[in-house]
Structure 1
Amino acid sequence: MASFEALYGRKCRTPVCWLEAGEKQFVGPEIVQETTDKVKCIRECLKAAQDRQKSYADKRSRPMEFLVRDRIMLKVSPWKGIILFGKRGKLSPRFLGPFKVLARVGLQAYKLELPPEMAGIHNTFHVCYLRKCLAEEESVIPLSEIRVDENKQSVEEPEAILERNTKVLRHKVVGLVKVQWKHHRGANMTWEAEEDLRRRYPHLFA
């Protein structure tokens, strides 16, 4: 008997014999030709489905290329229970970086400049794990310089007063000052009411 029948205790139903186990019938040229036609039809349907899915993917995908010295974000997977690049848990960041591109390896890989704490990781990655960093380098804030209050909100600090002005309202005159902020998102210079700013940051007017 065949090894499949010895292992499972029944005959194997191959494409050339789609009959129920136990039935006796001679395989003639007709059933062989029918099986060949069915296999050919199946292959054509699979090829059509693959071409259709490939056309969908080609429309939405574009080749990614980076230049040397570009700043790149590295994609990581939040595997449960596994420390990946020093991060753990599903709340860990999906991207690490930015890192600088040192060289291009072949057509689909790049060599990155990794920090010393990632010395045990190979510095060459496939292009599918890389994303270009769109943030401006001077806008990156070190974590050690961020202050958070009791409400878990970032505390912004003014650096200097650049200009002074007054705004005349219907019943009073409001003094305005142009403040340059430290680590401020967006434009780092805004006009603020001098009275409110003096109450919040008295050291700025000392």
Structure 2
Amino acid sequence: MTTLVIGANGQIGRQFCLLAREAGVPIKAMIRREAQCAWFEERGIPTLVADLEGDFRHAFAGCDQVVFTAGSGPHTGPDKTLLIDLYAATRAVDLARERGLARFVMVSALRAEDPQAAPEKLRPYMAAKFAADAYLRCAGVPYLILKPGRLTDEPATGKVATSLEETGGENTVSRANVAHALLHLVHSRGLIDREFHLLDGTRSVSDALV
């Protein structure tokens, strides 16, 4: 019952991997370069090296579910957004289906369903998320889609909301709270084919994501 973490070296990925190790959840952290291994090895987190722009099918061996929290990052252009946030995501979904994995947990984005409503510079990213989410829904793989709001570096509170109505329109969520939400979803094996918005709020993660 091992979870493959794609995007493990990202800001959310690292925090989730730490939480999973502390909780005794078996994971494999997929990283792009050998040089990134040391941080994980120092913390007792198993790693494997695979490139989302290359062949990464070997990463799925021995895993029964996937957490996809990879992203091209804010300093790349639309070309990398297409290759990572869209194409690599759909390739990962295909591999999960081929392997018969139990679930695919996708980290998407709040309001990804309406890319044209996003600020202009974010529209390619939102369009990629919109398409990747649509592909996952139709792929025949049991799935969860988590849609965080605007990400911050605030510490974890463990308190979240799942709608803008709950927050009075405030659309932010800490990366740390996203990591806690992912840990809850990984534990919640009975949750399938569901989608959740995620914002900082007042409810516990376990109460909000059911």
TM-score normalised over the length of structure 2: 0.20
Rg (Cα) greater in structure: 1
| Higher RCO (C-alpha 8 Å, min separation 6) | 2
TM-score normalised over the length of structure 1: 0.20
